């Protein structure tokens, strides 16, 4: 089993990675079991695939386990959905000693993490990501959140898990689109932090998309997890370096909000956002054309949906309401070269619109 530490002093925690790890979870969590209530948070499809078996195996190992079914899709991340869930937890007899298990993708992790952070002013939780996107990104670092009509994750808190349990074998049940969408975030790590992993992904993208090489996939997941863990350790609350993880997200999140979260998946939106940020990086005189061409080439290999027609001014308005706006300035992550990113706040609106018009 690969173990990666997220070193945050007294709140440090491990990221465990191994094929078939879900089946070993009762043994893995046994030292943490003090006869408290354990609650699995998940969604219907994941419960059918993994949740019911996990609950039974934990019960057989002496855990007191309950199950909370979250609404499907982004509806799980609405404030209106949470009130009933908090009442449900009270009825189950949960208290400050309870431990929550977030079994699912980014939506489940965000929602369950937010519930853990706010129930009884904070209880322990463990991330068990079932999607590639959650494995490499959202399950690590403690960001939790729910959505508002104005945009994604506008209400939330940073609440670190006690552990992250990654079983790449779970990806075999994912639709192809979920894998290809997540690859946008995987590419992001190489683009901003690690030219070597960028080149490795580029050379093996077809195998990664088809899950044809489990050893390589586990290596890439582990490398992305380590990169994220190191950034979080250096800047937990996103005051400095952690902000570079938002490469592609400034425009990407706005596209996602504009089109609806079902029309454009998160990773797909980020891929388009990275293309736009790459164009801005060239215009800013930071990035060489040949580096942008490599970025464009690898993103071009992803089966992205064609964007519906849109008005860039509408996207710009959404961006101005984003969390990344500070002092009314839109902050962008741009590339100086592949593997090296910088944060700027002086990109002209006309340049932003031009970059979007080229998508």
Give me the active site residues, please.
121, 143, 185, 228, 238, 242, 246, 249, 253, 266
Q: Contact at 8 Å (CB) between 315 and 272?
A: no
Instruction: Give the position of tokens 């690690």.
Output: 194
Which tokens is 50 given? 């993994």
- Taking CA atoms, 113 is separated from 40, 76, 140, in Å, by 12, 12, 11
| In contact, 290 and 189? CB cutoff 8 Å | no
What percent helix, strand, coil does the chain show, rounded to 5? 55, 20, 25
Q: Which residues contact 320 (CB under 8 A, 6 or more apart)?
A: 328, 330
Rg (CA), the chain: 20
Please give the backbone phi and psi of residue 152, each rounded to the nearest 5 degrees, phi first.
-85, 145
Q: How many CA atoms lie within 13 A of 211 on its CB side?
A: 17
Parallel, antiparallel or unpaired: strands 13-17 and 163-166: parallel
What does the alpha-carbon distance between residue 172 and residue 131 come to, in Å, rounded to a whole number? 10
Measure the CA–CA gap between 179 and 68, rounded to whole angstroms: 26
Distance of alpha carbon 340 from alpha carbon 337, whole angstroms = 5
Three-state SS for 205? Answer: helix
Q: Which residues contact 203 (CB under 8 A, 6 or more apart)?
A: none
Q: Which residue has the tokens 């996990």?
A: 54
- Assess contact for 345 and 246: CB atoms under 8 A: no
Please name which of 247, 252, 245 lies closest in space to residue 315, comparing C-alpha atoms.
252
């Amino acid at each position: 089993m690969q173990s990666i530490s997220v070193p945050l002093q007294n709140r440090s925690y491990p990221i465990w990675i191994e094929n078939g790890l879900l089946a070993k979870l009762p043994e893995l969590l046994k030292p943490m079991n003090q006869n408290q209530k354990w609650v699995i948070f998940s969604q219907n499809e994941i419960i059918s695939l993994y949740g019911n078996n996990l609950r039974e195996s934990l019960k057989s190992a002496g855990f007191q386990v309950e199950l909370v079914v979250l609404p499907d899709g982004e509806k799980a991340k609405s404030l209106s959905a949470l009130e009933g869930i908090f009442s449900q937890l009270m009825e189950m007899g949960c208290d400050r000693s309870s431990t929550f298990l977030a079994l699912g993708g980014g939506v489940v992790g965000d929602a369950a993490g937010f519930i853990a952070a706010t129930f009884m002013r904070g209880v322990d939780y463990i991330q068990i990501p079932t999607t590639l996107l959650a494995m490499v990104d959202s399950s690590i670092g403690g960001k939790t959140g729910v959505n508002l009509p104005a945009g994604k994750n506008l209400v939330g808190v940073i609440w670190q898990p006690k552990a992250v349990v990654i079983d790449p074998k779970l990806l075999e049940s994912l639709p192809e689109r979920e894998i290809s969408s997540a690859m946008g975030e995987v590419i992001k790590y190489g683009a901003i932090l690690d030219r070597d992993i960028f080149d490795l992904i580029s050379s093996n993208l077809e195998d990664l998309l088809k899950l044809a090489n489990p050893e390589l996939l586990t290596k890439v997941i582990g490398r992305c997890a380590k990169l994220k863990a190191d950034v979080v350790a250096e800047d937990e609350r996103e005051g400095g370096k952690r902000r570079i993880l938002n490469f592609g997200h400034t425009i990407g999140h706005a596209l996602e909000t504009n089109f609806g979260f079902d029309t454009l998946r998160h990773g797909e939106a980020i891929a388009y956002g990275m293309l736009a940020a790459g164009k801005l990086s060239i215009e800013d005189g930071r990035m060489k054309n040949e580096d942008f061409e490599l970025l464009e080439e690898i993103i071009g290999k992803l089966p992205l949906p064609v964007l519906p027609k849109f008005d860039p001014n509408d996207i710009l308005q959404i961006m101005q309401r984003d969390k990344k706006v500070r002092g009314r300035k839109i902050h962008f992550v741009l590339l100086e070269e592949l593997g090296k990113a910088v944060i700027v706040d002086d990109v002209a609106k006309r340049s932003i619109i031009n970059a979007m018009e080229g998508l």
